Structure 1
């Protein structure tokens, strides 16, 4: 507590959030915790030997209680609104553009039916014109309540949206009427400006892939990007490069700092940092204060506050303070996968980077420092995030280490080029030669990433992982630091024992899961898929007309990783067959 007080207190705050999220304490319990926190806060002003000795424990309890209280406030939602299955006349305005699919363009919106207001997802046919923030829209639409998934292994999209207070979706097929708005607030005006820039990018002469890459890497808009490109980034372990992350924010801050340093004299160097941070936050506001953008900007700002106050920057203090600032405004951010991965990655770099560097050859030149630092940072971040990546995505690619080593050193150049390109397009400046150069560079980058993604034998998917295994694997990675620092018998044995414990526990879960036998009927759109699990093997029956890729993506892969399957067999239902025979038993799909 004496070495990292802020970090430990924020951990207590986070535990309070998790506790409230799991147990949902009632108002009486919340008032009790509020009273305890107030009493602890009051006692801290009294000088007493007993209080002084127990101060750390009391502060931990207080921050735990604050986490419970604040998350309780954030969990308060409006009363549910019920609609029948008939069409309703809906008036709505969009609040966010979401990813499109092959059928629909999707948006978050604030909708009104009669005198009832509610947040919803609106889905319009993909061939319709894009919606904007400048209009109110009126349409006849079906209102569907978001439902939990059919089975436990499926992603709970309704729970994810519930954290954003969204419980409905509108399906639009009729003509949409629009009326210009005159009540846009500042945030909506900024969103509309960003939308205009995105539309300007769509009207340029660069290729579609380059346009979508530019919108994703600078303006945080991946809503129209080709699914094959996203898959390449995912399989090569470079998906962090596609989304705006700490690297992007650092490069953009560096650009601002470089430009203002040229303008302002040396004695105003402190103000150069401040002005650069202000412009960075303007940029963050322009691209919509996305979760990853907000996290990166907050962490960078906290770091430079230490610099401006002439205090030695402390990574754990900076990270803890950034997390606390973000969570104090929105505790639901804690359950965002990006939030967890980004902070764990920084923690991993703090914990493992220097020990890994000591194991690498001596860095006695700028070139060697750049190469080996890139390798060590990449390995540190990937090792630290590995348990969560396996838990959430059930996949891992060994090629990601090499891909990051090759691609990441060029990331600064790509980001600066893309930032300049977006700036020119925003100013309606279009130069054919610059378009050609940008197209050439991005096509080369995407081909390189596709080449890495094609190493199928280094890519593993449907990897099973539960929270107990995540915890044990995290401890093993924690112990790795001591192995790297001091390669002796004690540290090696500690690592080996923990690894054996992990594999024993994992084998136990595998054996337990393989004893389960179950028969399920999965609904995929209008089609049904029958699955029969027998030990570590499962059989899936689907109609010939079923979308095979969709069934594999949304049913077979999640089911395989959840049930720890080793063998999967797909079978086709002939004609209008509704019954199948398996092991002398007849199963009716209906």
Structure 2
């Protein structure tokens, strides 16, 4: 506490955020608890131990209050698929899909807003033939309003929860844009959005190759919307995704360029401080230009704190600055704690700083090349191994090429950023010679070719890894234990390391043990299709999966559930596996009997479930007690029209599962 007060405050503030997010704690309790702890703080202000305890308590209540205050939304009475006409204002452009442009927007007050949704944020989809729209434009449009759907299948990405943390609960699919209005007065956000769109169009007109446009747009504009799945996979396989994200490294490179550009300022009165102030001001202007994402704001804020320590000639403690910036950002928006980029960014920076200081005695004293190589390897290992648990938790893969990839591409990152910014200014001024376009395409094409060579061997990429929370926490303990064991070479530290490794393996074996004893039958939701699976231990038999559902539905389930073997079969195939029997008319698993598309009105009493794979059955279900199951092949209007006592529709209720 004495040496790192911000770290303790941050820890308890984060605990408060987690408690407020996962527990239903009345906000009035938080206010009362915060006021009580604050009064105790004042009362015990001269007793350092009790003062510290009540400071922690206050931070805890403050975290609970902030997450509940930010995430509070008034109750909404919105029926799904409601046709409506609304006036909206575009707030932010998001990554488009093949058919739609996508935006975060705000509903404006209007007479047609019968649901009183004014000031509510929505996710807006507009058809691409109706053209791209820009931030702070207002639109009159007609479309279908609905709640954002929760995940329909187990272990798939929860987009509803993700958008909830962005303050968005509703989505609107636009049919027709009736009127588009530009801001009447000068609007910087609108002008920047328009400028970026025109700049991207210029790159196409000048015949920059797609890979060149990806480099320029990502490294200058912070725009990664043109990244396709293949390119993202290549970056992940090479372990260099961070080189294309505008975060600490990127901001640091730009700050270095600005320091060089503002060198003449040194000859003015107070030139040293003025140079720092101009550089920091330029960084914040750039932060606003690229959209002020959490990683960029974090880097700019941290850089500002360091720069201020130089101006006031005070030695800055990096851990204090790291914790302080995190505390401020989380106070502004507690949902940053659940942002993947925020977590990866702070985790990487912490381990880089810790490793740099911890292994400083091992750093070569002579030889610039040796020192640079040592620093590069140390920074790469610290960052990659430090964020490894988070990478596996979110992306379920690990690349052995991360060290080679960073050794190849990290030294050239500053050159690439400088070259891309030079192209940005040249293209913006309209003085781009054709030879420069060809040269750029050659450079970026060569980079892409090297990237392809480095990742063409898939053996270096380990995919579908699952770690539980115990393994994630234990891994960080292993890193610290290994570092101390290497540095101090004491048997005690090696024993601690060995113990942590055993604990890590035990957590993994526990998951495997649980998986081996599971038996399940699942009816997944597959849009306009049928998809079922039988699971026995670590084996999975899948019926009816198409290429997309194999990747986005089956694989996430298999990864999280420790499935080691997957067999794919056509939906109509008959198969018998131990006590599981499937035919085109029924499925029998133990005592459970599921009839498939029964046509006979006389349903056997032994049947527990009635599964319909296409449309509405021609049955009188009023007197039937069995559960009627409809999957994604059925139309919503057909299922809604069908009357039954018990009904499960995967499009509304999600997947259906039986467990033994």
1:108 is paired with a residue whose SS is: strand
CA distance in 2, matches of 1:171, 1:581: 44
1:279 aligns with 2:276: no
1:434 equivalent in structure 2:
436
Shift of 1:571: 1.7
Check 1:363–1:565 CA distance in 2 against 1; reply closer, same or farther (3 A cut): farther
Cα pair 2:86 2:107 within 8 Å, conserved: yes
Cα pair 1:37 1:66 within 8 Å, conserved: no
Select 1:553's aligned residue among 541, 551, 554.
Answer: 551
1:331 aligns with 2:334: yes
TM-score by length of 2: 0.83
Shift of 1:101: 2.6
Larger radius of gyration: 2
2:23 equivalent in structure 1:
23
1:294 equivalent in structure 2:
297
Of stretches 450-459 and 250-259 in structure 1, the one that deviates more from structure 2 is 450-459
1:37 aligns with 2:34: no
Cα pair 1:260 1:272 within 8 Å, conserved: yes
1:542 aligns with 2:544: yes
CA distance in 2, matches of 1:283, 1:381: 25
CA distance in 2, matches of 1:155, 1:14: 23
After the TM superposition, which residues 479-490 of structure 1 pair with which residues of structure 2 at under 5 Å, given as runs? 479-490=481-492
After the TM superposition, which residues 450-469 of structure 1 pair with which residues of structure 2 at under 5 Å, given as runs? 450-469=452-471
Q: Which runs of 5+ in 2 are unaligned?
A: 588-595, 597-610, 614-660
Cα pair 2:88 2:107 within 8 Å, conserved: yes
CA distance in 2, matches of 1:441, 1:487: 47
CA distance in 1, matches of 2:391, 2:466: 11
Check 1:54–1:246 CA distance in 2 against 1; reply closer, same or farther (3 A cut): same
What count of residue pairs does the alignment treat as equivalent? 578
After the TM superposition, which residues 375-414 of structure 1 pair with which residues of structure 2 at under 5 Å, given as runs? 375-414=377-416
CA distance in 1, matches of 2:393, 2:298: 22
CA distance in 2, matches of 1:328, 1:134: 26
2:581 equivalent in structure 1:
584
Cα pair 2:153 2:553 within 8 Å, conserved: no
CA distance in 2, matches of 1:268, 1:357: 33
Cα pair 2:153 2:525 within 8 Å, conserved: no
1:567 equivalent in structure 2:
565
Select 2:100's aligned residue among 104, 112, 124.
Answer: 104
Shift of 1:165: 1.6
Render the CA deviation track for 1:49-87: whole Å, top value 9, x for unaligned: xx2332222222222222222222212224324145343
Cα pair 1:194 1:287 within 8 Å, conserved: no
Coordinate RMSD, CA, aligned? 2.2
Shift of 1:318: 1.1
Cα pair 1:91 1:138 within 8 Å, conserved: yes
CA distance in 1, matches of 2:105, 2:574: 43
Check 1:447–1:155 CA distance in 2 against 1; reply closer, same or farther (3 A cut): same
2:231 equivalent in structure 1:
229
Cα pair 1:40 1:59 within 8 Å, conserved: no
Cα pair 1:108 1:120 within 8 Å, conserved: yes
Select 2:181's aligned residue among 179, 182, 185.
Answer: 179
Check 1:290–1:201 CA distance in 2 against 1; reply closer, same or farther (3 A cut): farther
Cα pair 1:523 1:529 within 8 Å, conserved: yes
Shift of 1:202: 3.7
Shift of 1:553: 2.3
Cα pair 2:234 2:451 within 8 Å, conserved: yes
CA distance in 2, matches of 1:445, 1:276: 30
CA distance in 2, matches of 1:123, 1:385: 34
TM-score by length of 1: 0.92
Shift of 1:135: 3.5
Render the CA deviation track for 1:470-518: whole Å, top value 9, x for unaligned: 1122211222220231223221221111101110121012111221111
Shift of 1:186: 4.0
CA distance in 2, matches of 1:283, 1:509: 46
Q: Which runs of 5+ in 1 are unaligned?
A: none
Check 1:43–1:481 CA distance in 2 against 1; reply closer, same or farther (3 A cut): farther
Shift of 1:10: 1.6
CA distance in 2, matches of 1:184, 1:561: 51
Render the CA deviation track for 1:149-179: whole Å, top value 9, x for unaligned: 1244111110110111211222234465423
Of stretches 370-379 and 192-201 in structure 1, the one that deviates more from structure 2 is 192-201
